[in-house]
Each structure stands twice: as structure tokens, then as C-alpha cells.
Amino acid sequence: MNDDKVTAATDFQRDESFRDTIGTVDNSGKRIWITPKKPKGKFYNARNFVAFFLLVLLYSGPFIRIGGQPLLLVNVFERKFVIFGAAFWPQDFHLFALLLLSFIIFIVTFTAVFGRVWCGWACPQTVFMELVFRKIEYWIEGDAGKQRKLNAGPWTLSKIFKKGFKQAIFFAIAFSIGNVFMAYIVGSEEWWQIVNQPPSAHFSGFTAVMVFSFIFYFVFSYFREQACVIVCPYGRYQSVLLDKNSVVISYDFKRGEPRGKKSRKNPDAQLGDCIDCHQCVDVCPTGIDIRNGTQLECVNCTACIDACDTVMTKVKRPTGLIRFASYNSIKTGNKRIFTPRVMGYTAVLMLIIMIFSGVLMTRKDVETTVLRTPGILYNQTADGGFSNVYNFKIVNKTFEEIPVRFTIKDMDANIRLNQDDLIVPKSELYSSTMVIELPQSELHEGRNQITIQVWRGEELIEEVDTTFQAPDKL
Ligand code: SF4
Ligand code: SF4
């Protein structure tokens, strides 16, 4: 194993058995239900502020328009995608691939430098779980101690009411998320029709909303932190993305150890700043002890920082015993984060962003495909020339109709279409056939290379190469 990876817990921690299981599963393989204490502190306040902003953005996203188009539309059913008001089609797959690649490298670079900041601060799973659903739970059932007592107690009327009320609110929020999710997929207008008309009129849309709602309800009411610990691939990749220079939530073991409280039995004990109060563990929504070192369950939520800072303030010691820091900065004081590895990632990222920008800027509004109709070779025309029949498809990637006409480059050709004026409807794929007639003087025997020019008014918007079949002997 790469020595540079954070595999050892800390320098004081030698028992690494905690790494054999995840924090939410006991030795028999049973799930440990986590009831974290309600966090309090400056990081929690900041996260609330960020979460509010992100939730407003998430819920308003499908209704924000740029140039009359949605901010984001991911209509996988009709294979139509809109990002920041620009339409993308399956024909733009290479752009998607580049965008995805840039995104992955950005995440890798960002994680290598700053750990899982995304998880704790911006991931919808954490934002909803910790800053929406968990808050409702605290409001109805009280803090961790009261929740545990309620869970262990008999099913009284009060417990039935609290649990029922909580689940009803949970489902209502999950239903709202299901609706927003649907609006991102089909667009706000289509979603509004699903909502406003009887389920029978949009049965598949209605079913999809309900399925999404139940999935979200299941995730936030029952599955919870397991999504981050077990399912999320990003969390699993942490172990290869982080190294000892990555800034993560860290316990300052040099300052904190040996941990413990002074007592009458050991009044002269030489102890570190950690008074072993367990507050950092009690608030952790993934049930881990950050004092053991970086673990894959940690979502960088900062609850343990707030808890420990509160304790440090009470015992009149400096805050920051748990803080954002790299292992090396604690161990050696070296705070360098732009290591050669990070610089390499950054260089690759810049390169891909440049390629993506170049491809995006040269992207055409119209994309035409022309293929000779199978099974038909050629026909002779009345004036002695020859004709070929073609199938063509034109994708209009804009949100306005585009009138187009065809010519053949450097050739005196006659082109016959099925209609006099060819207008490609906005945001649609138009398919039809055309007949290209060429005089014999333009042709040689057998297969000829020709270039079809596509015009919008006087603007040449595209050139498409294809072949024209002439007789083997002219
Ligand atoms: S260890 Fe701290 S930052 Fe990590 S998940 Fe637990 S409370 Fe959040
Ligand atoms: S909250 Fe701070 S002092 Fe208390 S156990 Fe955790 S690290 Fe030690």
C-alpha cells in the first residue's frame, strides 16, 4: 500500500480494529441506529446559511429561465438536455463526455486538496438529511437523549403522535423533492400539467413522481447516513484520493494526547488537551470517532469541530483541537497543499477545460447527416445526367425555427426536396429525403465524392461529405 496514503490512524493510535467495520454496523452485522446530538456552533450556523441558499437554488432551478429556456433540464426520456439555457442533444455526446471528464477531474483535484468538503456542505443528501430532516426530528422528538428514550419506550399515544407526525412531515418533504426532481427531468411546464391534471391523464408522470417520492422518503427516514457510507461511490474513493497533505477534518493528536481527565487518583498526570468527553463522537452523524484519524465514513460535516470548540472554550483551552488540517500539518507543521500530484491534476484539468471550451465554441447550431438511400443506385435524368436519392436528418439545436437550403459544392446540381421551403422546427430532429441530380459532365464513372452545403439564408452553416453513385461505364 502506498505509504503516502492516510492508512495509519494517528501516531498514537495503534489499535486499528475500528477499520474492520463501518461505524454504523455492530460486530454481529446489525445496523447501529445513529442518534447524533444536535450540533451547535459557528460551523453549524454557516452550514445552515449555505444550505438555505442551496435549497432555494435547488427548488427554484426548474423555474429559472435563461433566454426562455430552463437553467437545467435533464430529460432522459426525450433525450433532451438543457444546461444554462443551451440545448444539448445525443449528437453532442462528445461534449457531455468532456464535461463529465472535467467534472470528475475537478472532483479528484478538489478532494485531493480539501477532502470531502462537498459531502458536508453541498451534497443534497447531507443538506437534506442533516439540515432539514434531522432538524425536524430534533423539533418533534427532542435531542439525542430524548430520541433514544422515546425509541426505547412503549408505544404510548404521545409516541404514536410524535412518530406519526414526524413521518407525515418527512413524506411531505420527500414528495416535494420528488416533484422538483421530476421538474428537472421533464421541465416545469410538463411537470405542472402532471400536477394539475388527474393522474389518469399523466399516469406515467404521476407514477414517476410517486416512485421518486417514496425513494427519497426511504432514504431520509430510514437509510440515512448509509447512503454516504455504503452506497456513494465518491465516499468509497476517498481512500485513494486523499493523502497526508489533504486538508480534512482532523484531530490534533499532538496537542490532544494523551487524552483524559485529571482526577484525585492522578492529579499530576501529564495529559493533552483532549478531556475525553466524547462530545465529538456524540454529535457525529456517521457514528465515528474522529480521534482515530481520517475514516471513510466522515462526511466533513464539521459537527465535531463545533462540539470540541464548545468544550475547549468551557475548559479555557484554545479552540481548534479538531479542525480542518492535513495530517502533515499536524505531524510536522508542513502546511503545503499544492503538491506535485495536485499540480499534475490541475494541469490535466486545465487542458480538458480548454479542449471542452474549444469544442463548445465551435459547436454548430445545426447538425446534418446525409446517407444515400439503401437499395437505390442511380437513375438517368431526361437531360442525360444522373440522380441519387438520399435520406437526411437535421438536428436543430436552437430554440428557433431554421429555414435551410442545400447546394452541392463546386457543382452545378439540381436538388429536389419533398417540400418547397425546408424549415427545421426548433429543438427538433427533422428527417426527409432528397434527390440530387448532376449532369454527366460533373461525374466520373463509379462512386463520386460530393460535398453538400447547408445554408441558412446566405450563411453557410455546414458542409457534409457523401458519395454520388454514377454508372460504372459512362
Ligand atoms: S467525524 Fe466530524 S466531520 Fe466527520 S462526519 Fe463525524 S462529526 Fe462530521
Ligand atoms: S470533543 Fe474534543 S475534548 Fe471532547 S473528546 Fe472530542 S476531541 Fe476530546
My answer on whether 302 and 397 are in the same domain is: no
My answer on whether 376 and 355 are in the same domain is: no
What are the backbone dihedrals phi and psi of residue 369, each rounded to the nearest 5 degrees, phi first? -120, 130
What pLDDT does 54 receive?
96
296 and 236 Cβ atoms separated by less than 8 Å: yes
My answer on whether 146 and 196 are in the same domain is: yes
My answer on whether 160 and 33 are in the same domain is: yes
Q: Domain count of the chain?
A: 2
What pLDDT does 224 receive?
95
pTM: 0.79
Atom number of ligand 1 nearest to Cα 307: 7
Q: What is the 3-state secondary structure (H, E, C) of the chain?
A: CCCCCCCCCCCCCCCCHHHHCCCCECCCCCECCCCCCCCCCHHHHHHHHHHHHHHHHHHHHHHCEECCEECEEEECCCCEEEECCEEECHHHHHHHHHHHHHHHHHHHHHHHHHCCHHHHHCCHHHHHHHHHHHHHHHHHHCCHHHHHHHHHCCCCHHHHHHHHHHHHHHHHHHHHHHHHHHHHHHCHHHHHHHHHCCHHHHHHHHHHHHHHHHHHHHHHHHHCCHHHHHHCHHHHHHHHHCCCCCCEEEECHHHHCCCCCCCCCCCCCCCCCCCCCCHHHHCCCCCCCHHHCCCCCCCCCCHHHHHHHHHHHHCCCCCCCEEEECHHHHHCCCCCCCCHHHHHHHHHHHHHHHHHHHHHHCCCCEEEEEEECCCCCCEECCCCCEEEEEEEEEEECCCCCEEEEEEECCCCCEEEECCCCEEECCCCEEEEEEEEEECHHHCCCCEEEEEEEEEECCEEEEEEEEEEECCCCC
In a domain, 474, yes or no: no
Query: Which residues span the domain enclosing 464?
Result: 366-469
What pLDDT does 4 receive?
43
My answer on whether 318 and 195 are in the same domain is: yes
What pLDDT does 375 receive?
84
My answer on whether 113 and 257 are in the same domain is: yes
Choosing from 315, 345, 363, the residue where a domain stops is: 363
In a domain, 76, yes or no: yes
What pLDDT does 18 receive?
66
How many angstroms is it from 208 CA to the middle of ligand 2? 46
What pLDDT does 239 receive?
73
In a domain, 6, yes or no: yes
What pLDDT does 333 receive?
82
- Pocket lining: 275 vs ligand 2, CB cutoff 6 Å: yes
My answer on whether 358 and 378 are in the same domain is: no
Ligand 1 surroundings by CB, under 6 angstroms: 249, 283-286, 288, 290, 298-304
My answer on whether 287 and 378 are in the same domain is: no
Choosing from 305, 335, 363, the residue where a domain stops is: 363
Q: For residue 277, which ligand has an atom nearest its CA?
A: 2
Choosing from 347, 363, 379, the residue where a domain stops is: 363
Residue 85 region, left (φ>0) first, then alpha (ψ -120 to 50), else beta? left
My answer on whether 38 and 133 are in the same domain is: yes
Q: What is the pLDDT along the chain (474 residues), one digit of tens a residue?
A: 334 444 444 555 556 666 677 778 887 888 889 999 999 999 999 999 999 999 999 999 889 888 777 888 888 777 778 887 777 877 788 888 888 888 888 888 888 888 888 899 999 999 999 999 999 999 999 999 999 999 999 999 999 999 999 999 999 999 999 999 999 999 898 999 999 998 888 899 999 999 999 999 999 999 999 999 889 988 888 778 888 888 999 999 999 998 988 777 777 778 899 999 999 999 999 999 999 988 888 999 999 999 999 999 999 999 999 999 999 999 988 777 777 888 888 898 899 889 988 888 888 888 899 999 988 889 999 888 999 999 999 988 887 899 999 999 999 899 999 888 899 998 788 999 999 999 998 899 999 999 999 999 889 999 999 999 999 887
Pocket test for ligand 1, best of 284, 297, 310 (most atoms within 8 A of CB): 284
In a domain, 318, yes or no: yes
Which cell is 99 given? 464535461
Instruction: Name the closest-CA residue to atom 4, ligand 2.
Output: 277
Question: What CATH number does residue 420 fall under?
Answer: 2.60.40.10
Measured between alpha carbons, how far is 194 from 203 in angstroms, rounded to an integer?
8
What pLDDT does 126 receive?
95
